[in-house]
Chain A
Amino acid sequence: MKAFLIGLLMGFGAVLAIAVVMKVRQRNMPMSVAEKADYLSTRRARMLPALAVIFLSQQATFLSTISSSAPHSADGAKISAWLALSIILLFALSTKGFWFERKEVRDLLDDENTRSNRNDGMRWGFLSSMAAAIAVYALTLFDAMVTARDAVHIVMTAGIAVALIRWGLLERRALRDA
């Protein structure tokens, strides 16, 4: 239980630290609302695929322990850190994101094109989750041992990672000039 809490706190702590660093860096750049929205929009396009890579790389540790039957205390920390990151990424996917910015900036960042790109990312994420669920179900037909936790982990990972990548790619394409 203690390991789970430590992992959870570490996950939320890492995200908070990133937000603070971003805020401090922006303090030295006086910008209008439109300029700030443009700047953050570009950053988001770069950040989304990077976040997907970080999220997926976390899975390497999970997959290395999936077959071992005896749980280790470190596994609890890793799993809860993954859970914390998953929750934060889900919030970022389903809300306007940039929670520490002013309302005007956040509203501008969530304009029509962004909403369309995000919705498309969510659609791809949903379909990937369903595909992963079908794959896990098919695996169990061949007597493969997949616990409920493993199944949830795989389905969530597929959905979140694909949604992030798709949204990121669409944002990058939108920023590209013809």
Chain B
Amino acid sequence: MPERLANRIKDRRTELGLTQAELAERVGVTRKTVNTVENNVFTPSATLAIKLAHALGLAVEQLFWIES
């Protein structure tokens, strides 16, 4: 069975009252990249995953997990 990297970026972002554009600016990427990671279209690198987790005030494993 194929594995995929799931995340709770959208939930956490909404909790903090951030828009995709605001989160993108904090991380240093475009809104498009945040959108694709959030919707599981794009699997981020470890660097971007850590940056996203840091920007959302969570540990990487709290924000991302492997789903099979």
Give A contacts to B, CB under 8 Å: 34-35, 37-38, 41, 108-109, 111-114, 116, 171, 173-175, 177-178
Pick the contact of A108: B21, B30, B35, B44 (CB < 8 A). Answer: B30
Look across to chain A and name the residue whose beta carbon is closest to the beta carbon of B20.
A177
By size class, the interface of chain B is 10 to 19
DSSP majority for the A interface? helix
Across chains A and B, which 4 residue pairs bring their CB atoms closest together, nearest first? A113-B33, A178-B39, A111-B29, A34-B25
A114 touches B39 (CB 8 A): no
Contact B35 A111 (CB under 8 A): no
Residue of B nearest to A44 (CB): B32
Q: In the complex, what's the smallest C-beta–C-beta distance from A37 to chain B, in angstroms?
A: 5
Residue from A41, A108, A171 in contact with B28 in the complex, judged by beta carbons closer than 8 Å:
A108
B48 at the interface (CB under 8 A from A): yes
The docked-state distance in angstroms from the alpha carbon of A116 to that of B45 is: 11
What are 20 A-B interface contacts by the 8 Å CB criterion?
A34-B24, A34-B25, A35-B21, A38-B30, A38-B31, A41-B32, A111-B28, A111-B29, A111-B33, A112-B33, A112-B42, A113-B32, A113-B42, A114-B32, A114-B33, A116-B42, A174-B36, A174-B41, A177-B35, A178-B38
Residues of B near A109 (CB, < 8 A) are 30
- List the B side residues contacting A177 at CB < 8 Å: 35, 39
Indicate if the CB atoms of B35 and A174 lie closer than 8 Å.
yes
For B43, give the chain A residue with the smallest CB separation: A116
Contacts of B38 in A (CB 8 A): 178
From known contacts A34-B24, A34-B25, infer whether A114 and B41 are also in contact, taking CB-CB under 8 Å: no
Contact of B42 among A37, A38, A41, A174 (CB under 8 A): A174
Nearest-CB residue, chain A, relative to B39: A178
Most chain B CB inside 10 Å of its own CB: which residue of A109, A111, A173: A111
Partner of B30, one of A37, A173, A178: A37
Cβ–Cβ contact B48 & A112, under 8 A: yes
Give residues of chain B (1-56) contacting chain A, Cβ–Cβ below 8 Å. Answer: 21, 24-25, 28-33, 35-39, 41-42, 44-45, 48
CB distance from B46 to the nearest CB of A (A): 11
Contacts A34-B25, A38-B21, A38-B31 given; does A112 touch B45 at CB 8 Å: yes
